[in-house]
Amino acid sequence: MSERAIAVLTSGGDAPGMNAALRAVTRAGIAEGFRVIGIRRGYNGLLNKDVFDLKLRSVSNIINRGGTVLYTARSEEFNTPAGVKKAADSCRELGICGIVVIGGDGSFRGARDLSGQGIPCVGIPGTIDNDIACSDYTVGFDTAMNTAMEMIDKIRDTAQSHDRCSVVEVMGRRCGDIALQTGIATGATAILVPEVPYDFEKDVLGRIRAAQSVGKSHFVIVVAEGVGGIDKLAHDIEECTGIESRATVLGHVQRGGSPTIRDRVVASEMGSKAVDLLKQGIGNRVLAVQNGKIVDLDITEALSLERKFDYELYKTALKISI
């Protein structure tokens, strides 16, 4: 009897912990008697049949590495009905009876469409943005935040030495979670996120002046990518307050680096759980962290949910950052 095969791919922006997830899929898959196939460069690899066998030792020494050894891509061809059909045909030709898709929302839409074509897919939320509505947590978020925190701590050293204001942009696409949490962790005087509209006079200048009035002489303003405009912000702060200001975009440094223990463990648990579902022939599911537990949900339902921002935590940040 020929072995049944499951496959794994990483898609969209890479995130630290993706390797830990695909390692867990490989090891759990082999333990369950599957042949495990790695698909290179996301859905493109499925369309081009760019695949290879993953053995127990193929995934050695990767749990500690950022990025993804499977490479990743955003595929335009796959985003068409013809592309999805071609990908499903590839799966049948390759003997793939289920796929674990590690990525974000866009990747899950692909997993849903492929499940609709009879190829069971299970999604694992892998993105630094923490912007998957159904899950309290996405693999990569913790590492990215820790990287951002470390970078902002360094920026703060120099801001303090020069009595300056540093305006720092962090990633997150349309989600303000990285900004909110790193802003709290670095004592930012103001945190600007796309979920909360801001008024420059009150929410930036007002907060700088209030902090100044109680003896603060250097300031860090953390701005989410979804708000942007930090060069102008730094310029306007300097013009209005006379405080020398600098702008820094942290950028892709936040996407790399060795994953934290949280990312490694959540990724490992999810990888193993994804295999459990595929073993039962269950597809069109996405894994999520809810109230500290790993659960699985219907992908269509998961994609229809609206992301909730933590306004309580935001209010706390405003209260204590002075």
State the catalytic residues.
129
Residue type, 95: G
Stretch of residues binding ligand F6P (CB under 6 A), selected from 125-133, 180-188, 189-197, 198-206: 125-133
Q: Tell me how many residues contact ligand F6P (CB under 6 A).
A: 9
Burial of 261 per CB tally in 10 Å (0-12, 13-18, 19+): exposed
Taking the least distance from each CB to ligand F6P, the nearer of 185 and 205 is 185
Cβ proximity to ligand F6P, 49 vs 252, nearer residue: 252
Q: What is the CA radius of gyration of the chain?
A: 22
- Residues 73-112, one symbol each (x = binds ligand F6P by CB under 6 A, - = not), give ----------------------------------------
21 binds ligand F6P (CB under 6 A): no
Residue from 25, 102, 128, 220 binding ligand F6P (CB under 6 A): 128
Considering only 45-53, 126-134, 190-198, 235-243, which stretch makes contact with ligand F6P by CB under 6 A?
126-134
Mask of contacts with ligand F6P, 223-242, x by CB under 6 A? --x-----------------
CA distances, 125 to each of 105, 130, 135, 167 (Å): 8, 9, 8, 30
CB of 255 to ligand F6P, least distance (A): 5
With contacts defined by CB under 6 A, name the span among 123-131, 155-163, 201-209, 279-287 that binds ligand F6P.
123-131
Name the amino acid, one letter, at 1: M
Among residues 76, 20, 142, which one has the least CA distance to residue 10?
20
Q: Which stretch binds ligand F6P (CB under 6 A): 127-135, 148-156, 197-205, 273-281?
A: 127-135
Judging by beta carbons within 10 Å of its beta carbon (0-12, 13-18, 19+), is residue 77 exposed, middle or buried? middle
255 near ligand F6P, rule: CB under 6 A: yes
Residues 6+ apart with CB under 8 A from 99: 6, 7, 8, 9, 39, 46, 91, 111, 114, 119, 120, 121, 122
- Burial letters 292-312, b for 16+ CB under 10 A, else e: eebebbebeebbeeebeeeee
Q: Which is nearer to ligand F6P, 113 or 169 (CB)?
A: 169
The rounded distance, in Å, linking the Cα atoms of 173 and 116 is: 28
DSSP-derived secondary structure letter, 258 = P
Nearest C-alpha neighbor of 15 from the set 318, 263, 210, 246: 263
Question: CA-to-CA distance for 283 and 279, rounded, in angstroms?
Answer: 10
Instruction: Please tell me whether residue 127 binds ligand F6P under the rule CB under 6 A.
Output: yes
Binding flag, residue 13, ligand F6P (CB under 6 A): yes
In this structure, what token pair is assigned to residue 282? Answer: 């269950």
Closest CB 229 distance from ligand F6P, rounded Å: 15
The verdict on 193 binding ligand F6P (CB under 6 A) reads no
Nearer to ligand F6P, 155 or 178 (CB): 178
Of residues 172, 183, 194, 271, which one binds ligand F6P by CB under 6 A? 172
In the complex, what is the shortest distance from the CB of residue 230 to ligand F6P, in angstroms, rounded to a whole number? 14
As a whole number of angstroms, the distance between CA 293 and CA 112 comes to 23
Site for ligand F6P, rule CB under 6 A: 13, 127-129, 171-173, 225, 255
